[in-house]
Structure 1
Amino acid sequence: MTDKLSLTLRPAMIHENLIIAEEYCKFKDWQQVRDEVIGNNLLQSRTLSTLKTIYGEVSKRLKNLTDNEIALLVESETDVKHIVWLAICRQYPFTYQFAVEVLTEFFDRSRFQLYSEDYDAFLNAKAEWHSNLDSITQKSRYKAQQIMFKMLFECGLTTKNKEILHQHLSPRLKELISQNNIDDLRLFPGEYI
């Protein structure tokens, strides 16, 4: 197992995912998408550096999706949050493992409430195997925890009070995930392989 396991320090950015995915569906070329999004400030950012940062983060996540998954993101309102979560998890192994080892396992054991301590325990367990996690500051740990819980809420996986919600994927999304990697269904509490 690699020693690097990075945390995401950006929220879900669902609106930005949709804008960039729509551009990708038009051009099917990431360089053209970048030129279009940045050249026309499609994300309506105040500064160029913020625009480039957000574009970079969102495009990095979306590149983990198949063309069909990106098309479904644009076409199906009901699948948007699930597909954004899928892209985040594929980009960040730490988030992927948290989804499977905490979210889904808790749900399977009928433990529906998440606490800050659950995140801390998970992070501490991973830090034993990944030295880069062991060396992050308390401030970065706290920020990463806040963003994780915010993403879970934004993507519809938990309530604002951190209660885990049963997920219902559309048949089309289930099919696309199964074609790519059936194990990814474990990212969604209540979905079973």
Structure 2
Amino acid sequence: MPGNVDKRYVLSFTTGGLLAREAAVLAPIFNEQHDWAKVRDLAVSENLLQARTRSTSVRRVRATIERLSALSDTELGILEELTASERSHLMWAAACRFYKLVGEFAEEVLRERFLTLAGTVSYDDYDSFYRAKALWHDELGAVSDQSYKKLRQVLFRMMVEAGLVNDHGGIEPTLVTARVGELLSSQNPSDIRFFPTRETH
């Protein structure tokens, strides 16, 4: 049913980009505290993400925690020891899990265009995808033009930071390491579906 509240998209991914560096700062604190509210309060009060203003700190901490909350305890436990590339891949998966719109774009557009040898993904591809989704989701149609452009910009920035797309929109085949691949494949269905790769598990 169009506009069904239970299926509304979360559209709060307009802060920062992939936030992989920020995740590496906050995940170890959660592993000690096991309380996201405490992590948030500590991160903001001590400006752990080194934001220039308190309001920026609040937004960045909130966005990072949203994504980290989509990870399992096992994933949170090893996040700090991952390489930069591995951490970026895991945080891309986290964004895809938490923000359904991002996950659907990754699976239905990014991966599909890779598998069909399209080679690139563009703003036009996103616009077509978004318009199709908006037919069934009133909240997408209610987004202002400025917010729409920001959502699109941040999504593409995340893909670039994750190494999935280059600055010119060229799709970069992804090689996921064994330990990250194991984490992604433990999901049902496998989170490998969010990546431009021919691997299925």
Length-normalised TM-score, structure 2: 0.89
Query: Which residue number corresponds to residue 155 of structure 1?
Result: 162
Which residue in the other structure is 1:42 paired with? Answer: 48
Candidates 28, 32, 38, aligned match of 1:26: 32
Corresponding residue of 1:109:
116
Q: Deviations over 1:16-57 (max 9, x none)?
A: 111111222333332332233223211112222221221111
Question: In the alignment, what sits opposite 1:164?
Answer: 171
2:8 maps to: 4
- Within 5 Å, give how 1:44-59 maps onto structure 2: 44-59=50-65
1-structure distance, mates of 2:44, 2:153: 28
Shift of 1:182: 3.7
Shift in Å, 1:133: 0.7
Mapping 1:170-189, distance limit 5 Å: 170-189=177-196
Within 5 Å, which residues of 2 pair with 1:11-160? 11-77=17-83, 78-160=85-167
Deviation, 1:108, is 0.5
Displacement, 1:135? 2.2
- Tell me how far 1:188 sits from its aligned partner: 1.0
SS in structure 2 opposite 1:90?
A: helix
Alpha-carbon RMSD: 1.7
The share of aligned pairs that are identical, in percent, is 34
Once the two structures are TM-superposed, the CA of residue 141 in structure 1 deviates from its matched residue by: 1.7
Q: Shift in Å at residue 64 of structure 1?
A: 0.6
- CA drift at 1:100: 0.1
CA distance in structure 2 between the partners assigned to 1:73 and 1:164 by the alignment: 25
CA distance in 2, matches of 1:72, 1:79: 10
- After the TM superposition, which segments of 4 or more aligned residues of structure 1 sit over 6 Å from their partners? none
**Residue 190 of structure 2 contacts residue 200 of structure 2 at CA under 8 Å; is this kept in 1?**
no
Letter in 1 for 2:72: T
Equivalenced residue count is 193
Please tell me whether the aligned partners of residues 72 and 79 of structure 1 are also in contact (alpha carbons under 8 angstroms).
Answer: no
Structure 2 gap ranges (5+) = none
Q: Distance in 1 between matches of 2:78 and 2:116?
A: 31
- Answering whether residue 196 of structure 2 is matched by residue 192 of structure 1, we say no
| Aligned-residue offset at 1:72 | 2.5
Show CA shifts across 1:105-138 (max 9, x none). 0000011111211010000000011011122222
The question of whether the paired residues in 2 share the 8 Å contact of 1:6 and 1:133 is answered with: no
